[in-house]
Structures are given as structure tokens and as C-alpha cells.
Amino acid sequence: MIDIASPLRLRIDSAALVSNWRWLATQSGAACGAAIKADGYGLGARGVMKHLAAAGCGDFFVATWAEAAALMPLAGDVSLSVLHGVGASDMVAARTLPARPVLNSLDQVARWRESGEGRPCDVMVDTGMNRLGLRPEEALGGALEGLKIETLLSHLASADEDSEQNDRQLAAFRALRERIPARRYSLANSAGICLGSDYGFDLTRPGLALYGGVPRREADGAIRQVAFPEARVLQLRDVPAGETVGYGATWTAARASRIAIANMGYADGYLRCHSGSGGARWQARTLPLAGRVSMDLVAFDAGEADGLGEGDWIALDYDLPEVAARSGLSQYELLTGLGGRFDRYWI
């Protein structure tokens, strides 16, 4: 097959990724792992794992066994956990892959026991989110006795807010820790780490903040941007004053304008809600988005970008907290939405 470069690329800054992990590790006051589900929040789980493992990260979390399988063979002695546990159709993968299930229900616990593996597993207890995990009364009712629990986990529902639910979940998890033996205990995601080292226990599980997301103001200034989407200019055109650009004619040239058409659109995860606030940069010049985003194309006002030519790369504005506030998308959606047409490359 011929290797043809895409007109979209995602530059991924490995030094920023590692710097974010180190900051999170320091704040954790505990071992710091990494959530790399959804293909490393869209950046590429394999690359994220490689760079973080080299920096000393030893614990990784994916959602499904298919995601775990895609990471094989594992390098070195990293630990990999599968957050969604074991469904009936997962047992072959769970038996063969060097990863641990995070058991999420009494059914999953029974399934794991029946498999007769006797291998260590992780267990999720629910302390108020009501998503996955055994209820406290289920976890304390004897179902876990004799299980080799490597990590007992719970997950915070409102850590990105100043919510009393955080204190309640912390207290509930502490109480469970007294009564359920495990080698390690783990509660905090990125936002939870920002709540203070009380939430750190033995192991933390950041995702978003590794990749440049700022989950709470405590992380302002400490977290660096990691993902930099770029698109090639397909065409430059002159639009006379008074004419409009794009579907629905939502942008009108106030003066004779130079418009750059870029090779990117909502099919690449650059959604229509960027209209009105999105933008890009070329050599420190600003290119505001003009009109509606199409499926594969988007127009930018290149009036300030003298010298920009067809085939040049423009860098999208993609500072996650800022763009999230402007677009109404979450920082998670901004990352995980970036599509397969972006060539990922690490620097």
C-alpha cells in the first residue's frame, strides 16, 4: 500500500504529556497511573503508554478487552486494568491477556470466581455515582471474601465541582477501605487529584489532565497543552465585500476578504458549534472561522495572514479549557472527537 499523508495532522507533545503526569503524580501524594481508554482520549493509547511508562508510570486503565488487546504485547512490567470488567463474552480475553478486570457487579464477581483462575482482580465499589460498581452493602455482604483484590476502586461523580458529594464519597470510601482487604486503594481521577492528597490513597487514575485538560482551577497554569490539531489550506479565495461564505450564508464579507479553505470539517470532530468562536493560527497571525463548518471543509478569514499559501498548515485554536468554554463542548469531547483522518505524530 502507498503511504499517503493526510491533509490533517495532530501534533502530540510528549514532553507536555510527561510534564502533566509528573505534576499530577506530585499532587497525588501516591502512585499515579493513567486512564488511556478511548485510544488514549483520542491521542493514541499505545503512544501515551510508551511515553508515560518510560517516565515511570506503572498503572494503566482501558475500558474494554478490545482496547487491552490492541496494546499487546505489553512492554516491561506495567499493570493494565479493564474498567468495564468481565461480561459473559469477555472470559476468553480475560483468561489470555495479561490484564486485570475491574469487577463491577455481583454477577461479574461470580463469573470471575467460576472461571477458577484465582488470579488477582480489581474491584469497583460504588460510593454514589450509580454507574458501575458494587453497592457498599453488596461489597460488604461476603461476596468479595477470599478474592485476591489488587486494587479496590471507587469513582468520584462531581470532583470537578465544589460539591458536598466529594466529602461524602471520600468518607464512604474510607469506611469501605477499613473492611475490604486489597493491596491498594484508588479513588481520584484528574479532578479528584486537585481536591488534595486526602483523595490520593495509594493510586490515582488521571485521564483528562494528562492530555491538557484543566479539570479544576487548582490545575490552572500547571497543565500544558498536549494535542495540537493542524489542517492544510486547500484553497485561498478572494471574496468581494457583501458576498457570503458557506452553507446558510451565515458569514458576510464586511470588506473585500481573503478566505482560506481548510481540509477539515465536522466529520473530523471539528463540530459546527465552533461557528462564531473558532479560529486558527498561522505564524502568530489569527484566522477567525468564517461561517458554518462543513463535513470536510471549513473557511477561515485569512485577512491578517499575508503570505499564507495553498498547502500551508494552519494550527487550530485548541486550548482545551478555553475552547470548551466557547464552544459548549466538554474538554473530553474536544479530545475524543478528533477523527481518524488526523495523522497522529509525536514530538
Which residues are known to be catalytic?
Answer: 37, 247
Report, in Å, the least distance between residue 230 CB and ligand PLP.
24
Tell whether residue 105 is a contact of ligand PLP (CB under 6 A). no
Report, in Å, the least distance between residue 12 CB and ligand PLP.
17
Q: Which of 28, 189, 257, 327 binds ligand PLP (CB under 6 A)?
A: 189
The residue number with the shortest CB distance to ligand PLP is 207
> Are β-strands 227-239 and 8-12 bridged in parallel, bridged antiparallel, or unpaired?
antiparallel
* Strands, E assignment, 223-312: 227-239, 244-245, 251-252, 257-262, 279-282, 285-288, 298-301
> Helix 45-55 crosses helix 14-28 at what angle (to 10 degrees)?
60
Q: Residue 73, preceding bond cis, omega within 30 degrees?
A: yes
CB nearer ligand PLP, residue 21 or residue 251: 21
CB nearer ligand PLP, residue 197 or residue 244: 197
C-alpha cell at 269: 470532530
Q: Which of 36, 208, 287, 302 binds ligand PLP (CB under 6 A)?
A: 208
> Which among 33, 63, 17 is positioned nearest to 200, based on CA atoms?
33
CB nearer ligand PLP, residue 94 or residue 209: 209
* Length of the chain (residues): 347
Site mask for ligand PLP (CB under 6 A), range 37-66, x = bound: x-----------------------------
Tell whether residue 207 is a contact of ligand PLP (CB under 6 A). yes
Tell whether residue 35 is a contact of ligand PLP (CB under 6 A). yes
Tell whether residue 33 is a contact of ligand PLP (CB under 6 A). no
In the 8-state DSSP scheme, what is residue 97?
Answer: S
d(CA 309, CA 261): 11
Site mask for ligand PLP (CB under 6 A), range 137-176, x = bound: ------------------x---------------------
Report, in Å, the least distance between residue 83 CB and ligand PLP.
5
Taking CA atoms, 316 is separated from 11, 203, 231, 326, in Å, by 11, 35, 8, 14
d(CA 255, CA 185): 62
Tell whether residue 205 is a contact of ligand PLP (CB under 6 A). yes
Residue numbers at the binding site for ligand PLP (CB under 6 A): 35, 37, 83, 155, 189-191, 205-208
